[in-house]
Amino acid sequence: MTSQVSSPAEHADGTVVGEQRKPAGTKDVRRLDRVIIRFAGDSGDGMQLTGDRFTSETASFGNDLSTLPNFPAEIRAPAGTLPGVSSFQLHFADHDILTPGDAPNVLVAMNPAALKANIADVPRGAEIIVNTDEFTKRAMQKVGYATSPLEDGSLDGYSVHPVPLTTLTVEALKEFDLTRKEAERSKNMFALGLLSWMYHRPTEGTEKFLTTKFAKKPDIAAANIAAFRAGWNFGETTEDFAVSYEIAPATAAFPTGTYRNISGNLALSYGLIAASTQADLPLYLGSYPITPASDILHELSRHKNFGVRTFQAEDEIAGIGAALGAAFGGSLAVTTTSGPGVALKSETIGLAVSLELPLLVIDIQRGGPSTGLPTKTEQADLLQAMFGRNGEAPVPIVAPQTPADCFDAAIEAARIALTYRTPVLLLSDGYLANGSEPWRIPETDELPDLRVQFAQGPNHTLDDGTEVFWPYKRDPGTLARPWAIPGTPGLEHRIGGIEKQDGTGNISYDPANHDFMVRTRQAKIDGIDVPDVEVDDPHGATTLVLGWGSTYGPITAAVRRLRAAGEAIAQAHLRHLNPFPANLGTVLKAYDRVVIPEMNLGQLATLVRAKYLVDAHSYNQVNGMPFKAEQLATALKEAIDG
């Protein structure tokens, strides 16, 4: 394995930015196979940026990785309080990994609140780096520490590194023309530098990043780079950090190819652009900002040179309305939202079902009901996606299983929408949206051809021999109706939400026709061609664990643990929730026990039990966080043991 290493750039003042720094080799170096680091601080401390940079360094080094950003819904919660704590967890390894990790090996706590909010997740023996400057009496009282946890023995058993991060940062920047407050802001870069030293991360990417980010404020760029280097040097020189660690690149984990690190929302955005390119249709996004979906709107808005139109609507309903209007006009139309937005869009999704136009509805699920937990993850919109409309209004459902998989899931959703002329719901979630992992960049010739044929002329001959266009005359194979877009001469037609006569599409209140149309719309969705679900069962197990969506990583990690411990367990994971793969019933009935872990109260289990009469058991968690592998392994072991 090799990493691309870009050449350093020399500045006018002679400083070299982007040069790779290496430990001098005067301290012990230990090899590890994997590490879980959590950066935690105030929501204004830049913890997400710090985590992102460490992730980028790690990705470019060639480790496998998985991330879990975790932040409050408030933009700037009161400083130093528990609700204001923002954290970023990163798991990286010399082998293939599946989750952001259960318990951190290292916690970086930028203040007492960050320590208090995270310490319960950190096992004894782990390393804790604390910014002692922030452990003032007042700050500790604010979060309920009567005595200093750094001194009262409550951190016994941890390897605590007390570091005056703020003071050291300010000291390192004293040559710069900055106020103390401005200098303090760079303390996250000091911390990043220290951690980069500890884990032998490549540093040139971060230095270049800072140079670019603050291109218009070169002083700030220089200060941040100085703080970053000071942190690195601190690790190199101070005696408190006696050991640094090497985690070798995950050579065996990655097939040949070019890789980048990618978050779920970015992968999804790229998937939509790729689908537009592959379909040769302009992309139209109608959207209203909502956490955690807004980043897709932001990303697509940056790519107008792909012919992407993004429309920030007055509300969720207008977002999908505009998308549907664009679909009528021949665009690949998309609306992006989260659960509350889907609720508002329901009536328009029903209209799209009735109009039989292609439309992608992207739901980045978050904790519910109502406003719920805007920045936390959940899978509780499955039944809303499945049934949340008036009348019989079936909609195909596709779910990505990892952040990078959001790219493929978007393309698959587009394939179904375009082929079958139907709205499609794509169910991602907050964990996938903000989490990231390495992604093998596909060659564009690997992507499917999604081109469609618009109707061009009459498709029906009346008894008297007249050639006419019938907007609801279906393709016998797919049951899709023709897509006749305005501007096509001779195909002028009217469509609407009122029940239509089969074929002509004219208004019809005829009872038998309605019965036929309801069954036909259902048959169209039931008949969608989806691949069989694959079962991973190397040992002939009697228990099957079935999952869908973002639980793929934790479930797979748990299954590996069980198998490593000598247990036999089969695993299957669903991408298609509606229709289910044709072989799913057979698969389920081949096992004595079926267990379905979900971040809801058993929604897939409900569907599976209803459809297949299988006594599937639920294992549920709705705490806004992804499953932990250890916890799942325990639950699955109990299922195996019956």
Partner 1 sequence: MAETTTEGPGTIEALTLVPKAEARQSMKDFKSDQEVRWCPGCGDYAILAAVQGFMPELGLAKENIVFVSGIGCSSRFPYYMNTYGMHSIHGRAPAIATGLASSRRDLSVWVVTGDGDALSIGGNHLIHALRRNVNLKILLFNNRIYGLTKGQYSPTSEVGKITKSTPMGSLDAPFNPVSLAIGAEASFVARTVDSDRKHLTEVLRQAAAHPGTALVEIYQNCNIFNDGAFEVLKDRQQAEEAVIRLEHGKQIRFGAPLDSGLGSKGVVRDALTGDLKVVTVTPENEPQILVHDAHSASPTTAFALSRLADPDTLHHTPIGVLRSVDRPVYDTQMADQLDTAIEQNGKGDLSALLAGGDTWTVVG
Burial of 612 (0-12, 13-18, 19+ CB in 10 A): middle
Q: Among residues 507 and 601, whose Cβ is nearest to partner 1?
A: 507
- Tokens 């694959």, located at residue: 534
Scanning 58-66, 73-81, 159-167, 593-601 for contacts with partner 1 by CB under 8 A, the matching segment is: 58-66
Site string for partner 1, 469-488 (x = CB under 8 A): ----------------xxxx
d(CA 124, CA 105): 9
Q: Among residues 451 and 589, whose Cβ is nearest to partner 1?
A: 451
Does residue 386 touch partner 1 according to CB under 8 A?
no
- Least separation, in Å, of the C-beta of 184 and partner 1? 28
- Least separation, in Å, of the C-beta of 334 and partner 1? 11
Q: Would you tell me how many other CB atoms lie within 10 Å of the CB of residue 113?
A: 28
Span 505-544, contacts to partner 1 by CB under 8 A: 506-507
Scanning 102-110, 155-163, 248-256, 360-368 for contacts with partner 1 by CB under 8 A, the matching segment is: 248-256
User: Could you report how far apart the first and last alpha carbons of the chain are, in Å?
Assistant: 45
Does residue 264 touch partner 1 according to CB under 8 A?
no
Does residue 467 touch partner 1 according to CB under 8 A?
no
Burial of 341 (0-12, 13-18, 19+ CB in 10 A): buried
Span 338-367, contacts to partner 1 by CB under 8 A: 347-348, 350-351, 355
- Least separation, in Å, of the C-beta of 325 and partner 1? 3
Does residue 493 touch partner 1 according to CB under 8 A?
yes
Scanning 33-41, 67-75, 90-98, 278-286 for contacts with partner 1 by CB under 8 A, the matching segment is: 278-286
Span 314-333, contacts to partner 1 by CB under 8 A: 314-315, 317-318, 321-331, 333
List the Cα angle 188/250/99 in 5-degree steps.
65
**The token pair that represents 246 in the structure block:** 């090497």
- Least separation, in Å, of the C-beta of 530 and partner 1? 25
User: Beta partners for 243?
Assistant: 28
Scanning 113-121, 138-146, 249-257, 373-381 for contacts with partner 1 by CB under 8 A, the matching segment is: 249-257
**The token pair that represents 97 in the structure block:** 């990994």
Instruction: Tell me which of 270, 420, 552, 619 binds partner 1, using CB under 8 A.
Output: 270
Burial of 516 (0-12, 13-18, 19+ CB in 10 A): middle
In terms of DSSP bridges, do strands 332-337 and 283-287 run parallel, antiparallel, or are they unpaired? Answer: parallel
Q: Among residues 70 and 224, whose Cβ is nearest to partner 1?
A: 224
d(CA 188, CA 206): 12
Does residue 65 touch partner 1 according to CB under 8 A?
no
Q: Among residues 255 and 477, whose Cβ is nearest to partner 1?
A: 255
DSSP letter at 520 equals H
Nearest residue to 424 via CA among 281, 578, 288: 578
- Least separation, in Å, of the C-beta of 372 and partner 1? 24
d(CA 275, CA 409): 10
- Least separation, in Å, of the C-beta of 329 and partner 1? 4
CB 229 within 8 A of CB 15: no
Nearest residue to 112 via CA among 33, 217, 35, 42: 42
Scanning 29-37, 42-50, 57-65, 182-190 for contacts with partner 1 by CB under 8 A, the matching segment is: 57-65
d(CA 372, CA 498): 35
- Least separation, in Å, of the C-beta of 146 and partner 1? 46
CB 94 within 8 A of CB 33: yes
- Least separation, in Å, of the C-beta of 495 and partner 1? 6
d(CA 156, CA 154): 6
Does residue 273 touch partner 1 according to CB under 8 A?
yes
CB 285 within 8 A of CB 308: yes
Nearest residue to 469 via CA among 459, 461, 479: 459
Span 281-310, contacts to partner 1 by CB under 8 A: 282, 284, 286, 303-309
Does residue 101 touch partner 1 according to CB under 8 A?
no
CB 335 within 8 A of CB 285: yes
State the number of binding residues for partner 1 (CB under 8 A): 76
Q: Among residues 1 and 523, whose Cβ is nearest to partner 1?
A: 1
Q: Among residues 104 and 471, whose Cβ is nearest to partner 1?
A: 471
Q: Among residues 220 and 344, whose Cβ is nearest to partner 1?
A: 344
- Least separation, in Å, of the C-beta of 268 and partner 1? 13
- Least separation, in Å, of the C-beta of 312 and partner 1? 10
Instruction: Tell me which of 311, 470, 548, 580 binds partner 1, using CB under 8 A.
Output: 311
Q: Would you tell me how many other CB atoms lie within 10 Å of the CB of residue 136?
A: 14
Instruction: Tell me which of 251, 456, 461, 586 binds partner 1, using CB under 8 A.
Output: 251
- Least separation, in Å, of the C-beta of 332 and partner 1? 10
**The token pair that represents 249 in the structure block:** 């690149």
Contacts of 78 (CB under 8 A, 6+ apart): 84
Q: What strands lie across the sheet with 535-536, from one edge to the other? A: 535-536, 570-574, 543-548, 593-598, 617-620
Span 200-229, contacts to partner 1 by CB under 8 A: 205
Does residue 462 touch partner 1 according to CB under 8 A?
no
Instruction: Tell me which of 496, 527, 531, 538 binds partner 1, using CB under 8 A.
Output: 496
